[in-house]
Amino acid sequence: MPHLIQIGDTSAQPRSLQYGRWEAFHHPTGGGEFLPVIIAQGETDGPCLWLTGGIHGPEHAGPLVIHRLLTPELVSSLRGTIVALPALNPVGLRTMDREPQPDDKDPNRLWPDGKPEKPPDPDKDPPSPLETTFKALFEQMLATADFLIDYHNAGTGSISFAFQDRILYRPGVDEVATTAAKAEAEALVQRQNEMLRAYAHTIICEMSIAEVIDEDLHRSTSGALLYLGRKPAITVELGTGHLPDPAIVQAAVAGTRNILRWAGMLDGEPEAINGIQVVDRGYPVVRRQTPRLKQAGVVYHLVQAGDLVAAGQPVAEICDIWGRPVGDGYVYAEEEGFVIGRSHGVFYYPGDAVLGMAVRNTQPMIEPYPADYFN
Protein backbone atom coordinates (compact mmCIF):
# COMPACT_ATOMS: atom_id res chain seq x y z
CA MET A 1 0.00 0.00 0.00
CA PRO A 2 1.22 3.57 -0.69
CA HIS A 3 2.22 5.80 2.19
CA LEU A 4 -0.40 8.03 3.79
CA ILE A 5 0.59 11.60 2.94
CA GLN A 6 -1.37 14.63 4.11
CA ILE A 7 -0.59 18.18 3.00
CA GLY A 8 -2.86 20.84 4.48
CA ASP A 9 -6.43 19.55 4.37
CA THR A 10 -5.62 17.07 1.58
CA SER A 11 -4.87 13.39 2.09
CA ALA A 12 -3.52 11.03 -0.55
CA GLN A 13 -5.86 8.29 -1.68
CA PRO A 14 -4.56 5.38 -3.78
CA ARG A 15 -5.38 5.50 -7.49
CA SER A 16 -6.87 9.00 -7.31
CA LEU A 17 -6.33 12.74 -7.60
CA GLN A 18 -7.15 14.71 -4.46
CA TYR A 19 -7.57 18.49 -4.34
CA GLY A 20 -7.36 20.85 -1.38
CA ARG A 21 -5.64 23.74 0.36
CA TRP A 22 -2.67 24.64 2.49
CA GLU A 23 -3.85 27.55 4.63
CA ALA A 24 -1.13 30.19 4.44
CA PHE A 25 -1.99 33.38 6.35
CA HIS A 26 -4.84 35.78 7.10
CA HIS A 27 -5.34 39.26 5.68
CA PRO A 28 -6.00 42.20 8.00
CA THR A 29 -9.01 43.10 5.85
CA GLY A 30 -10.55 39.67 6.39
CA GLY A 31 -10.25 36.37 4.60
CA GLY A 32 -7.10 34.39 4.10
CA GLU A 33 -4.52 33.25 1.60
CA PHE A 34 -4.17 29.57 0.70
CA LEU A 35 -1.93 27.53 -1.55
CA PRO A 36 -3.75 25.03 -3.79
CA VAL A 37 -2.67 21.41 -3.32
CA ILE A 38 -3.05 18.43 -5.65
CA ILE A 39 -2.01 14.95 -4.57
CA ALA A 40 -1.83 12.17 -7.15
CA GLN A 41 -1.21 8.69 -5.82
CA GLY A 42 -0.86 5.36 -7.58
CA GLU A 43 -2.12 2.02 -6.39
CA THR A 44 1.31 0.74 -5.36
CA ASP A 45 4.04 2.18 -3.17
CA GLY A 46 6.89 4.22 -4.63
CA PRO A 47 8.82 7.50 -4.30
CA CYS A 48 7.26 10.91 -3.70
CA LEU A 49 7.88 13.68 -6.24
CA TRP A 50 6.97 17.27 -5.37
CA LEU A 51 6.06 19.69 -8.16
CA THR A 52 5.89 23.42 -7.46
CA GLY A 53 5.19 26.43 -9.64
CA GLY A 54 3.84 29.95 -9.71
CA ILE A 55 6.18 31.44 -7.11
CA HIS A 56 6.90 34.45 -9.34
CA GLY A 57 3.82 36.37 -10.41
CA PRO A 58 4.72 36.92 -14.09
CA GLU A 59 5.69 33.24 -14.60
CA HIS A 60 2.58 31.37 -15.68
CA ALA A 61 3.84 28.22 -17.43
CA GLY A 62 4.38 26.11 -14.31
CA PRO A 63 0.70 25.77 -13.35
CA LEU A 64 -0.12 24.77 -16.93
CA VAL A 65 2.49 22.00 -16.89
CA ILE A 66 1.09 20.63 -13.63
CA HIS A 67 -2.48 20.74 -14.97
CA ARG A 68 -1.52 18.95 -18.19
CA LEU A 69 0.53 16.33 -16.35
CA LEU A 70 -1.85 15.31 -13.56
CA THR A 71 -4.55 13.29 -15.28
CA PRO A 72 -6.53 10.16 -14.36
CA GLU A 73 -4.57 8.32 -17.07
CA LEU A 74 -1.27 9.16 -15.35
CA VAL A 75 -2.58 8.07 -11.94
CA SER A 76 -3.77 4.72 -13.28
CA SER A 77 -0.16 3.73 -14.07
CA LEU A 78 1.64 5.65 -11.31
CA ARG A 79 3.73 4.12 -8.54
CA GLY A 80 4.14 6.30 -5.50
CA THR A 81 2.87 9.84 -4.99
CA ILE A 82 3.04 13.27 -6.62
CA VAL A 83 2.46 16.32 -4.42
CA ALA A 84 1.82 19.42 -6.54
CA LEU A 85 1.43 23.06 -5.54
CA PRO A 86 0.79 25.01 -8.76
CA ALA A 87 0.57 28.45 -7.12
CA LEU A 88 3.14 29.19 -4.41
CA ASN A 89 2.47 32.92 -4.80
CA PRO A 90 -1.26 33.42 -5.51
CA VAL A 91 -1.13 37.16 -4.83
CA GLY A 92 1.70 37.64 -7.34
CA LEU A 93 0.00 35.49 -9.97
CA ARG A 94 -3.13 37.63 -9.71
CA THR A 95 -1.23 40.90 -10.03
CA MET A 96 1.68 39.60 -12.17
CA ASP A 97 4.12 41.03 -9.61
CA ARG A 98 7.32 39.10 -8.91
CA GLU A 99 7.40 40.24 -5.27
CA PRO A 100 4.09 39.56 -3.51
CA GLN A 101 2.37 41.43 -0.73
CA PRO A 102 2.83 41.33 2.23
CA ASP A 103 6.53 40.83 1.40
CA ASP A 104 8.78 42.98 -0.75
CA LYS A 105 11.44 40.29 -1.18
CA ASP A 106 11.81 37.74 -3.95
CA PRO A 107 9.54 34.90 -2.75
CA ASN A 108 11.96 32.34 -4.17
CA ARG A 109 14.55 33.49 -1.63
CA LEU A 110 12.40 32.94 1.49
CA TRP A 111 12.86 29.21 2.14
CA PRO A 112 14.93 28.00 5.14
CA ASP A 113 18.71 28.40 4.92
CA GLY A 114 19.81 25.96 7.64
CA LYS A 115 21.36 28.62 9.87
CA PRO A 116 20.69 28.42 13.62
CA GLU A 117 17.68 30.45 14.69
CA LYS A 118 18.52 33.63 16.58
CA PRO A 119 16.43 35.35 19.26
CA PRO A 120 14.02 37.96 17.84
CA ASP A 121 15.59 41.37 17.35
CA PRO A 122 13.13 44.13 18.36
CA ASP A 123 14.80 46.49 15.89
CA LYS A 124 14.30 44.18 12.90
CA ASP A 125 11.17 43.03 11.14
CA PRO A 126 10.20 39.44 11.91
CA PRO A 127 9.78 36.90 9.09
CA SER A 128 6.92 37.85 6.78
CA PRO A 129 3.72 35.79 6.65
CA LEU A 130 4.88 34.22 3.37
CA GLU A 131 8.29 33.27 4.78
CA THR A 132 6.57 31.73 7.79
CA THR A 133 4.28 29.81 5.43
CA PHE A 134 7.22 28.44 3.45
CA LYS A 135 9.02 27.41 6.64
CA ALA A 136 6.05 25.30 7.74
CA LEU A 137 5.54 23.90 4.24
CA PHE A 138 9.23 22.99 4.02
CA GLU A 139 8.86 20.72 7.05
CA GLN A 140 6.22 18.77 5.12
CA MET A 141 8.46 18.72 2.05
CA LEU A 142 11.40 17.39 4.06
CA ALA A 143 9.24 14.67 5.60
CA THR A 144 7.76 13.38 2.35
CA ALA A 145 9.71 14.43 -0.79
CA ASP A 146 12.27 12.19 -2.49
CA PHE A 147 12.65 14.57 -5.47
CA LEU A 148 11.39 18.02 -6.49
CA ILE A 149 10.87 19.99 -9.69
CA ASP A 150 10.23 23.73 -9.39
CA TYR A 151 8.81 25.28 -12.59
CA HIS A 152 9.82 28.82 -13.58
CA ASN A 153 10.07 31.05 -16.63
CA ALA A 154 13.13 32.91 -17.84
CA GLY A 155 13.15 35.92 -20.18
CA THR A 156 10.81 36.66 -23.06
CA GLY A 157 11.69 34.43 -25.99
CA SER A 158 14.30 32.42 -24.09
CA ILE A 159 14.91 28.72 -24.63
CA SER A 160 13.59 26.05 -22.28
CA PHE A 161 16.33 24.79 -19.96
CA ALA A 162 17.07 23.40 -16.49
CA PHE A 163 19.70 24.33 -13.91
CA GLN A 164 22.44 22.04 -12.63
CA ASP A 165 23.17 23.31 -9.13
CA ARG A 166 26.51 23.45 -7.39
CA ILE A 167 26.46 21.63 -4.07
CA LEU A 168 27.67 22.98 -0.74
CA TYR A 169 28.98 20.61 1.89
CA ARG A 170 29.83 21.11 5.55
CA PRO A 171 33.42 20.16 6.41
CA GLY A 172 33.74 17.59 9.19
CA VAL A 173 35.70 17.69 12.41
CA ASP A 174 38.59 15.85 10.78
CA GLU A 175 39.90 14.85 7.37
CA VAL A 176 37.97 11.57 7.32
CA ALA A 177 34.67 13.32 8.02
CA THR A 178 35.41 16.03 5.46
CA THR A 179 36.25 13.43 2.81
CA ALA A 180 32.94 11.70 3.52
CA ALA A 181 31.06 15.01 3.25
CA LYS A 182 32.71 15.76 -0.10
CA ALA A 183 31.87 12.28 -1.40
CA GLU A 184 28.23 12.76 -0.39
CA ALA A 185 28.15 16.11 -2.22
CA GLU A 186 29.68 14.55 -5.34
CA ALA A 187 27.06 11.79 -5.24
CA LEU A 188 24.29 14.39 -4.95
CA VAL A 189 25.66 16.30 -7.97
CA GLN A 190 25.65 13.04 -9.93
CA ARG A 191 22.12 12.17 -8.83
CA GLN A 192 20.85 15.59 -9.80
CA ASN A 193 22.59 15.29 -13.16
CA GLU A 194 20.85 11.96 -13.79
CA MET A 195 17.53 13.66 -13.07
CA LEU A 196 18.38 16.49 -15.47
CA ARG A 197 19.44 14.05 -18.19
CA ALA A 198 16.10 12.30 -17.82
CA TYR A 199 14.29 15.64 -18.23
CA ALA A 200 16.26 15.99 -21.50
CA HIS A 201 16.13 19.76 -21.98
CA THR A 202 19.15 22.08 -22.24
CA ILE A 203 21.23 21.93 -19.02
CA ILE A 204 22.95 25.05 -17.67
CA CYS A 205 25.06 25.22 -14.50
CA GLU A 206 24.08 27.68 -11.82
CA MET A 207 26.34 30.59 -10.89
CA SER A 208 29.39 30.24 -8.65
CA ILE A 209 28.90 29.27 -5.01
CA ALA A 210 29.79 32.80 -3.88
CA GLU A 211 27.13 34.26 -6.19
CA VAL A 212 24.58 31.63 -5.14
CA ILE A 213 24.93 32.65 -1.49
CA ASP A 214 25.13 36.37 -2.31
CA GLU A 215 21.90 36.12 -4.35
CA ASP A 216 20.22 33.86 -1.72
CA LEU A 217 19.68 31.18 -4.37
CA HIS A 218 20.36 28.53 -1.72
CA ARG A 219 17.04 29.73 -0.25
CA SER A 220 15.07 28.96 -3.41
CA THR A 221 12.42 26.24 -3.42
CA SER A 222 14.67 23.63 -5.01
CA GLY A 223 17.80 24.97 -3.31
CA ALA A 224 16.37 24.46 0.17
CA LEU A 225 15.54 20.80 -0.44
CA LEU A 226 18.82 20.23 -2.25
CA TYR A 227 21.07 21.84 0.37
CA LEU A 228 19.19 21.03 3.59
CA GLY A 229 17.36 17.85 2.62
CA ARG A 230 20.24 16.55 0.45
CA LYS A 231 17.68 15.30 -2.06
CA PRO A 232 17.71 15.80 -5.86
CA ALA A 233 15.78 18.93 -6.78
CA ILE A 234 15.87 20.99 -9.96
CA THR A 235 14.68 24.36 -11.18
CA VAL A 236 13.44 24.39 -14.77
CA GLU A 237 12.95 27.51 -16.87
CA LEU A 238 10.13 27.39 -19.42
CA GLY A 239 10.77 30.28 -21.79
CA THR A 240 8.44 33.28 -21.78
CA GLY A 241 6.41 33.66 -18.59
CA HIS A 242 3.48 35.97 -19.24
CA LEU A 243 2.47 34.18 -22.45
CA PRO A 244 3.53 30.52 -22.13
CA ASP A 245 4.63 28.73 -25.29
CA PRO A 246 2.42 25.62 -25.79
CA ALA A 247 5.35 23.69 -27.29
CA ILE A 248 7.50 24.37 -24.22
CA VAL A 249 4.64 23.44 -21.88
CA GLN A 250 4.17 20.14 -23.71
CA ALA A 251 7.93 19.45 -23.73
CA ALA A 252 8.03 20.09 -19.96
CA VAL A 253 5.16 17.66 -19.43
CA ALA A 254 7.03 15.03 -21.44
CA GLY A 255 10.27 15.77 -19.57
CA THR A 256 8.50 15.41 -16.22
CA ARG A 257 7.05 12.05 -17.23
CA ASN A 258 10.59 11.03 -18.17
CA ILE A 259 11.73 11.95 -14.65
CA LEU A 260 8.90 9.79 -13.28
CA ARG A 261 10.25 6.89 -15.37
CA TRP A 262 13.80 7.56 -14.17
CA ALA A 263 12.56 7.53 -10.57
CA GLY A 264 10.74 4.22 -11.06
CA MET A 265 7.30 5.81 -10.78
CA LEU A 266 6.21 5.08 -14.38
CA ASP A 267 6.97 2.27 -16.80
CA GLY A 268 7.93 2.66 -20.44
CA GLU A 269 10.70 4.12 -22.55
CA PRO A 270 11.62 7.83 -22.31
CA GLU A 271 9.57 10.14 -24.53
CA ALA A 272 11.24 12.21 -27.22
CA ILE A 273 11.37 15.94 -26.44
CA ASN A 274 9.83 17.56 -29.49
CA GLY A 275 8.96 21.09 -30.53
CA ILE A 276 11.78 22.89 -28.70
CA GLN A 277 15.48 23.49 -29.28
CA VAL A 278 17.82 21.49 -27.04
CA VAL A 279 21.43 22.71 -26.99
CA ASP A 280 24.30 20.46 -25.87
CA ARG A 281 27.82 21.73 -26.53
CA GLY A 282 29.44 18.57 -25.22
CA TYR A 283 30.83 20.36 -22.17
CA PRO A 284 29.19 21.95 -19.10
CA VAL A 285 28.07 25.56 -19.42
CA VAL A 286 27.18 28.25 -16.89
CA ARG A 287 24.80 31.17 -17.26
CA ARG A 288 26.25 34.65 -17.70
CA GLN A 289 24.89 38.08 -18.59
CA THR A 290 27.19 39.14 -21.42
CA PRO A 291 28.37 41.16 -23.26
CA ARG A 292 27.86 44.37 -21.30
CA LEU A 293 27.79 47.75 -23.01
CA LYS A 294 30.56 50.26 -22.53
CA GLN A 295 28.42 53.13 -23.86
CA ALA A 296 24.74 53.94 -23.77
CA GLY A 297 22.80 53.33 -26.96
CA VAL A 298 19.99 51.74 -28.88
CA VAL A 299 20.56 48.06 -29.64
CA TYR A 300 19.47 45.94 -32.60
CA HIS A 301 20.01 42.27 -31.73
CA LEU A 302 21.65 40.13 -34.41
CA VAL A 303 21.26 36.75 -32.66
CA GLN A 304 18.35 34.83 -31.16
CA ALA A 305 17.77 32.37 -28.33
CA GLY A 306 19.52 29.07 -29.05
CA ASP A 307 22.05 30.53 -31.51
CA LEU A 308 25.68 29.42 -31.17
CA VAL A 309 28.07 32.36 -30.79
CA ALA A 310 31.84 32.60 -31.27
CA ALA A 311 34.09 34.91 -29.26
CA GLY A 312 34.45 38.18 -31.14
CA GLN A 313 31.29 37.67 -33.20
CA PRO A 314 28.99 40.71 -33.62
CA VAL A 315 25.82 40.01 -31.62
CA ALA A 316 24.14 43.41 -31.92
CA GLU A 317 24.27 46.72 -33.71
CA ILE A 318 24.35 49.86 -31.56
CA CYS A 319 23.44 53.42 -32.44
CA ASP A 320 22.45 56.65 -30.69
CA ILE A 321 18.91 57.99 -30.51
CA TRP A 322 19.37 59.70 -33.90
CA GLY A 323 20.30 56.37 -35.48
CA ARG A 324 24.01 57.13 -35.86
CA PRO A 325 26.47 54.30 -35.08
CA VAL A 326 28.08 54.29 -31.65
CA GLY A 327 31.78 53.46 -32.12
CA ASP A 328 32.03 51.07 -35.03
CA GLY A 329 28.32 50.29 -34.66
CA TYR A 330 28.62 46.76 -33.22
CA VAL A 331 28.59 44.89 -29.92
CA TYR A 332 30.82 41.80 -29.87
CA ALA A 333 30.58 38.53 -27.94
CA GLU A 334 33.27 38.22 -25.30
CA GLU A 335 33.10 34.42 -24.98
CA GLU A 336 32.10 31.38 -26.98
CA GLY A 337 28.73 29.94 -26.03
CA PHE A 338 25.07 30.02 -26.95
CA VAL A 339 22.24 32.45 -26.41
CA ILE A 340 19.77 31.65 -23.63
CA GLY A 341 17.71 34.74 -24.37
CA ARG A 342 17.98 38.38 -25.37
CA SER A 343 17.69 41.15 -22.81
CA HIS A 344 14.41 43.04 -22.83
CA GLY A 345 14.03 46.26 -24.77
CA VAL A 346 16.49 48.09 -26.98
CA PHE A 347 17.52 51.12 -24.88
CA TYR A 348 20.59 50.37 -22.75
CA TYR A 349 22.87 52.14 -20.28
CA PRO A 350 26.60 51.41 -19.89
CA GLY A 351 27.01 48.13 -18.01
CA ASP A 352 23.70 46.68 -19.21
CA ALA A 353 23.95 43.15 -20.61
CA VAL A 354 22.74 42.58 -24.14
CA LEU A 355 22.22 38.81 -23.81
CA GLY A 356 21.79 36.00 -21.37
CA MET A 357 24.36 33.44 -22.53
CA ALA A 358 25.63 30.00 -21.59
CA VAL A 359 29.44 29.83 -21.62
CA ARG A 360 31.91 27.12 -20.67
CA ASN A 361 31.88 26.30 -16.97
CA THR A 362 35.34 26.17 -15.41
CA GLN A 363 34.39 26.22 -11.71
CA PRO A 364 33.95 23.22 -9.38
CA MET A 365 30.49 21.79 -8.78
CA ILE A 366 31.05 21.22 -5.06
CA GLU A 367 32.51 23.58 -2.46
CA PRO A 368 32.43 23.87 1.33
CA TYR A 369 30.11 26.25 3.10
CA PRO A 370 31.93 29.48 4.02
CA ALA A 371 33.67 29.12 7.37
CA ASP A 372 31.35 31.62 9.10
CA TYR A 373 28.11 30.47 7.45
CA PHE A 374 26.61 28.68 10.48
CA ASN A 375 27.77 31.25 13.08
Domain CATH for 335: 2.40.50.100
Domain that holds residue 37: 6-280
DSSP code at position 219:
G
pLDDT for position 17 = 98
- CB burial of 277-294 (b: ≥16 within 10 Å; e: otherwise) equals bebeeeebbbbbebbebe
At a CB cut-off of 8 Å and minimum separation 6, what does 137 contact? 22, 35, 85
The distance from CA 247 to its chain's CA centroid, rounded to whole angstroms, is 19
Verify that 91 and 207 share a domain, yes or no: yes
Domain count for the chain: 2
Residue 373 domain-assigned (yes or no): no
This prediction's pTM: 0.96
Verify that 275 and 291 share a domain, yes or no: no
Verify that 55 and 82 share a domain, yes or no: yes
**Single residue among 251, 280, 309 that ends a domain in this structure:** 280
Distance, in Å, from the CA atom of 74 to the CA atom of 78, rounded to the nearest integer, reads 6
Q: Amino acid identity, residue 200?
A: A
| Residue-level pLDDT, tens digit, the chain, 375 residues | 677 899 999 999 999 999 999 999 888 888 888 999 999 999 999 999 999 999 999 999 999 999 999 999 999 999 999 999 999 998 888 888 887 766 778 999 999 999 988 888 888 888 888 999 999 999 999 999 999 999 999 988 999 999 999 999 999 889 999 999 999 999 999 999 999 999 999 999 999 988 999 999 999 999 999 999 999 999 999 999 889 999 999 999 999 999 999 999 999 999 999 999 999 999 999 999 999 999 999 999 999 999 999 999 999 999 999 999 999 999 999 999 999 999 989 999 999 999 999 999 999 999 999 988 888
**Single residue among 280, 297, 332 that ends a domain in this structure:** 280
3-state secondary structure of 33: strand
The distance from CA 235 to its chain's CA centroid, rounded to whole angstroms, is 2
pLDDT for position 155 = 87
Residue 57 domain-assigned (yes or no): yes
Verify that 187 and 328 share a domain, yes or no: no
pLDDT for position 151 = 98
pLDDT for position 279 = 97
pLDDT for position 1 = 65
Verify that 222 and 351 share a domain, yes or no: no
Q: Amino acid identity, residue 321?
A: I
Burial group, residue 118, by CB count within 10 angstroms (0-12, 13-18, 19+): exposed
pLDDT for position 91 = 85
> What CATH number does residue 77 fall under?
3.40.630.10
